[in-house]
Amino acid sequence: MSTACYISEARIPLSVVPLLQHAVETYASETNKTSAVWEAFSDSDLGWRPAEKSMTIEEVMKHHILSERRFFGDFLGSVEQTAAEVVAGASTVAEFRARMVQLAVPRLAYLAGRDETWWLGRVSFFDVDRERIWILWRRVLHSAHHRTQLTVYLRLLGKPVVPVYGPTADSR
């Protein structure tokens, strides 16, 4: 396990709005949970898909880091790299994991520095206006969706499912 593929508590900044510290911590925690699930795959699994219309494991990983870029850049206003830069150089499980964490760390500082007015401000989210706090929680849910998708892939591949919220049948 590479510690570079996780965000330690020491790397989580304090929010300028103490009531919103949980939002910063949740984004870090969800990144760590996703990294743990991704770690359960081997590089030889990256091209696997459970059905013809399903994404491959690699496609899910790419989608994850690209959709985070879009949520944070387009909807929350953080400075993000181009889509090509976000996925450049990632072709192994370890590289995808490291890249996800590398991209998440500056977002933590960005979120921690926003005040209550910013969080409650409404911005365009696809075809509707939403509060930024709503958009962040939508991002967390989107990440959890794809993480769960990959835990199903693990099960279908006969690999152990890692515990991210508590023990699984594989860890008892």
Are 9 and 123 in contact by the 8 Å Cβ rule? The answer is no
Q: Is residue 78 part of a domain?
A: yes
| pLDDT single digits (tens) 28-79 | 999 999 999 999 999 999 999 999 999 999 999 999 999 999 999 999 999 9
Question: Is 164 among the domain residues?
Answer: no
Q: What percent of the chain has pLDDT over 70?
A: 98
Rounded to whole angstroms, the Cα distance separating 35 from 7 reads 10
Q: Evaluate if residue 3 carries a pLDDT over 70.
A: no
| Within a domain: 2 | no
* Signed CA dihedral, 30, 31, 34, 39: sign only: negative
Q: Considering its fold, how many domains does the chain have in total?
A: 1
Q: What's the pLDDT score for residue 165? A: 81
Residue (of 37, 36, 104, 33) closest to 65 by Cα position: 104
Helix spans in 9-131 (H) = 21-39, 57-70, 83-87, 93-112, 116-120
- Say whether pLDDT at 19 is over 90: yes
Predicted local confidence at residue 2, as pLDDT = 58
In a domain, 22, yes or no: yes
Answer yes or no: is pLDDT of 1 > 50.
no
Query: Looking at the domain assignment, is residue 53 inside a domain?
Result: yes
- The model's pTM is 0.94
According to the model, what pLDDT value does residue 4 have?
A: 73
Question: Does the pLDDT at position 17 exceed 50?
Answer: yes
Query: Going by C-beta distance under 8 Å and a sequence separation of 6 or more, which residues neighbour residue 87?
Result: 62, 65, 66, 99
Judged against a pLDDT cut of 90, whether residue 9 lies above it is answered with: yes
CA torsion through residues 49, 54, 56, 60, sign: negative
91 within domain boundaries:
yes
Q: Between 8 and 171, whose confidence is greater?
A: 8
Domain that holds residue 132: 15-156
Q: Is 65 inside any structural domain? A: yes
In a domain, 30, yes or no: yes
Rounded to whole angstroms, the Cα distance separating 22 from 95 reads 28
Residues 115, 109, 66, CA angle at the centre, nearest 5°?
110
Instruction: CATH number of the domain at 35, please.
Output: 1.20.120.450
User: Is the per-residue pLDDT at 154 higher than 50?
Assistant: yes
pLDDT of residue 114: 98
Residue type, 14: L
